Amino acid sequence: MRGGWGGFGGEVDLRARPGSGRRTLARIAGFFRPYRGRLGVIAVLILVTVSIGVVNPILLKLIIDNLTGPRDLGLVYLQCGLMIALPILTSLLGVWQSYISNVVGQRVMDDLRLALYSHLQWMSLRFFTQTRTGEIQSRIGNDVNGVQSVVTDTAASLLSNFATVATTVIAMLVLDWRLTALSLGMMPVFAYITFRVGKVRRQVSTLTQQSLAEVSAITEESLSVSGILLSKTFGGQRASIEKFRRESRRLGDLQIRQQMIGRWFFALIGTFFSISPALVYLLAGSLIIGGDRHVSIGTIVAFTTLQSRLFFPMGQLLNVQVEIQGALALFDRIFEYLELPHEITDAPDAVALEPTRMRGEVRLEHVSFRYPVAPSAVAVAPEAAAAEAEGRAVPTAIQPFGVTDISFDAQPGQLVALVGPSGAGKTTVTYLIPRLYDVQVGAVLIDAVDVRRLALESLGRGIGVVTQETYLFHASVLENLRYARPEATMYEIEAAARAAAIHDRVLELPEGYDTVVGERAYKLSGGEKQRVAIARVLLKDPRILILDEATSALDTVSERLIQAALNRLMEGRTTIAIAHRLSTILRADLILVFDRGRIVERGTHAELLRHQGLYATLYRQQFLAEAEPAGIQS
């Protein structure tokens, strides 16, 4: 289909198909359902207002017929008084109706935003690793804001205009059916063309929002602190500008097309509405001259007044159909996210895990897990499976990404260290314990209960995680720390900061604990960010600790301080630590050596050195090659 309604001959890409309009409308109606009472009040006010609006043209006819007939002055006073009083009453009712409409509309918008945000909060980690942040922000921001006018105004406007048209047509029919037929003769044709225009508008609106999401994603990626640093250090400013220019131009072209679709058609409607009074005068004049006594001067004036009252809401009804089709494209995108299934959910019989009663035993029983593979990797999966079945080594190029047959037991108070080359599956194991992903084979148990039977929120409260990539909010140090425990006292916060060796540094900041750390905490060094993150976990005081390279960003002095704090924290708690710097796990109760998704060695530091396997190789590469292996404790 071509976008020719607006005078632009380019092809419209229909690959992004809109959803079922009836189903989308039903979903929209669901958000209005809690406000049925207020919607009823709005409907009554609209019906009363539009009904009063029909009275004035009738009064005008009566006044003119009175002046050209009986000439009753008292009746003229009464009729003119009503013509003054009724618009005042209509205005007051209109303000009240507008207020209630806006309240309902904004409440629906709040509910829609909250529903989308809440739904995304419970999406699995997989969704966020596969979706760009800018795309998510566009759905919550651009798409939801794009339907605001429809939600806040269109519903009331639709009812108001429809009621206006209905009451006006009835009044026109009462005055003269022939003049009414002349005025409305072209409406079916206009309605059909409007429907066709609306379909094209909806398709182009979908493409426009996709392009807007792409612009938002490019902006979020390239204008973040990390993106700017990358651009400047690689000299990629021109490439970034050109990429943004292309997408921005595409967005501009789509928006022009969206605005111009049907403009020629609506210009035709406007022209017809403008010349219709002349046609009415022509027909009415012919009837009067021909001796028809049913048509008077008052009838002609009242009819043309009603006709002018009819044309604006009729045009609005025709135009609103096009606007609604465009808004439905945005609703389709919003509901597309709302209908995404939650992969990780609470079981019907989920058990709440009480942190105070939690012992912290972690056990993995023959756990296997594979991340989703790209289509290009599907073809090599049988080859990998055949190699495993025959006991041959799976070539690195075709290895599935995940872990296979992982089993170990971590008791409270123990430190279990995970070591091995990058990509060996260590981080994947730490994702499975707090149930960021669900295992596909085997089970992860905490205190002998499968994590799939534990309530997700309670599971999150009982586990503390410090990752390689520390994330701090664009807020003060105090707010970042209180995220772990909002009710924490200042004494507890400072105690956690001291234990993480960051308290003194925080006091040196311009506003101390009230200092805003900035976007992605770029006001702090890597080691300082890491220590704030560790203080946050210390404040949370979990029974299970997961440390994913928790000291990787620290210098030797800070590492010693943090290690001492962590040693105190780990007493009586289960700690699972990933470390490439083996100095942090030499005293681990159990060291698990990972390679290609499997545990290939296990034991203490001394046992693994005697084994002379992969761990011993890593140890020699990291320590014996150094002239002074500073900071190592035997």
Q: Give 94's contacts (C-beta < 8 A, 6+ positions apart).
A: 45, 49
Q: Do 334 and 360 fall into the same domain?
A: no
Q: Are residues 329 and 378 in the same domain?
A: no
Which has the higher per-residue pLDDT, 433 or 56? 433
Q: What are 508-539's pLDDT values in tens digits? A: 888 888 888 876 666 787 778 888 888 888 88
Residues 393 and 331 in one domain: no
Specify if 156 maps to a domain: yes
- Tell me what pLDDT residue 319 has: 63
The reply to whether the predicted model has a pTM over 0.85 is no
Residue-wise pLDDT tens digits, 171-185: 777 777 777 777 676
The reply to whether 163 and 282 lie within a common domain is yes
Same domain, residue pair 319 and 385: no
Same structural domain, 457 and 391 = yes
Decide which of 512 and 137 is more confident: 512
- 161 and 230 together in one domain: yes
Same domain, 452 and 591: yes
The partner residues of 444 in beta bridges, in order of sequence, read 364
Average pLDDT over the chain, rounded to an integer: 76
- Do 171 and 283 lie in a common domain? yes
Q: What are phi and psi of 72, to 5 degrees?
A: -85, 110
Domain, as residue range, for 571:
355-470+542-624
Instruction: Check residues 587 and 293 and name the one with the higher pLDDT.
Output: 587
What CATH number is given to the structural domain containing 286?
Answer: 1.20.1560.10
Domain-embedded: residue 349: no
**Is 129 domain-assigned?**
yes
Query: pLDDT category, 403, cuts 50, 70, 90?
Result: very high
Final residue before a domain boundary, out of 290, 313, 338: 338
Pick the residue with more confidence: 585 or 375?
585
Minimal CA–CA distance to 152: which of 24, 22, 323? 323
Question: E strands along 239-394, which residues?
Answer: 362-370
Tell me whether residue 440 is in a domain. yes
**253 located within any domain:** yes
- The reported pLDDT for the residue numbered 225 is 55
The CATH number of residue 583's host domain is 3.40.50.300
Same domain for 217 and 364, yes or no, is no
Q: Model confidence at 506, in pLDDT bands (50, 70, 90)?
A: confident
Judge if 187 and 216 occupy the same domain.
Answer: yes
Task: Quickly state the pLDDT bin for 7 (edges 50, 70, 90).
Answer: very low
* % residues pLDDT > 90 (the chain): 8
Residue 226 and residue 211: Cα distance in Å, rounded? 23
Please say if the pLDDT value at position 212 is more than 80: no
pLDDT interval class at 433 (50, 70, 90) = very high
* CA atoms 486, 122, 467, 432: torsion sign: positive
Which phi and psi (to 5°) does residue 118 adopt?
-65, -40
pLDDT in the model for residue 366: 94
Based on the domain organization, do 331 and 451 belong to the same domain? no
pLDDT at 9: 32
* 514 in a structural domain: no
**How many domains are contained in the chain?**
2
For residue 234, what are the CA distances in angstroms to 229, 237, 241? 8, 8, 14
Give the percent of the chain with pLDDT over 70: 72
